[in-house]
Amino acid sequence: LILVLVPFWTSLLVRTTAWIVLLQTQGVLNEFLVTIGLISDGGRLAMIYNMTGTIVAMTHVLLPFMVLPLYSVMSSIPSTQMDAAASLGATPVQAFLRVYWPQSLPGVGAGALLVFILAIGYYITPALVGGSDGQLISNMIAYHMQTSLNWGLAAALGGVLLLIVLVLYAVYERLLGVEKIGLGG
């Protein structure tokens, strides 16, 4: 849990800059891969200024928002329920899938909703790490609002984004429902 919380307490800009240093062509990760002989010096991986860098950096930034609701729900599930399932003949995998997993689904739903809400409007990390090839819709909306001054296209993109969010929220509400997110029990 501390491995999730320490980066969470670090500034977003510091974490994003760290990913730029780690993922660049002459960065730490490529140097490590060349040193251990996994890739050649001429075959360094392009992991920055593309969608790969955006996904890696955003995953790191948003991971605590998924882990913390999951931890909250999972820590409240009594271990005696797993023991009871085992005493009734369930294997550990069966006990997990039939007893533990269904009780942890509210945490999965809460974490997924929280990550989705944060990721849908993410702007700074894709702009810095993704470059021109790793942009998300929020970056395109900002570009058309500020640079190209094509406000009609920005409004249309915003409308499409809103429609996508509403459809996904309706699906989420149908599957889990907000009232079912009883974090902690």
pLDDT digits (tens, 9 = 90+) for 74-125: 999 998 998 999 999 989 999 999 999 999 988 888 888 889 888 887 888 8
Question: For residues 46 and 23, is the Cβ–Cβ distance under 8 A?
Answer: no
pLDDT at 132: 78
Domains annotated for the chain, with CATH where assigned, are 2-180 (1.10.3720.10)
* Distance from C-alpha of 71 to C-alpha of 69, rounded to nearest angstrom: 5
Residue 93 contacts by C-beta under 8 Å, 6 or more apart in sequence?
none
* Distance from C-alpha of 114 to C-alpha of 66, rounded to nearest angstrom: 7
pLDDT at 84: 93
- Angle between the N-to-C axes of helices 12-23 and 28-35, in degrees from 0 to 180, rounded to the nearest 10: 30
Question: For residues 118 and 73, is the Cβ–Cβ distance under 8 A?
Answer: no
* Distance from C-alpha of 150 to C-alpha of 19, rounded to nearest angstrom: 32
Consecutive 10-residue runs of the chain (185 residues): their mean pLDDT?
81 88 90 90 87 90 91 91 91 92 88 87 83 80 88 92 88 72 49
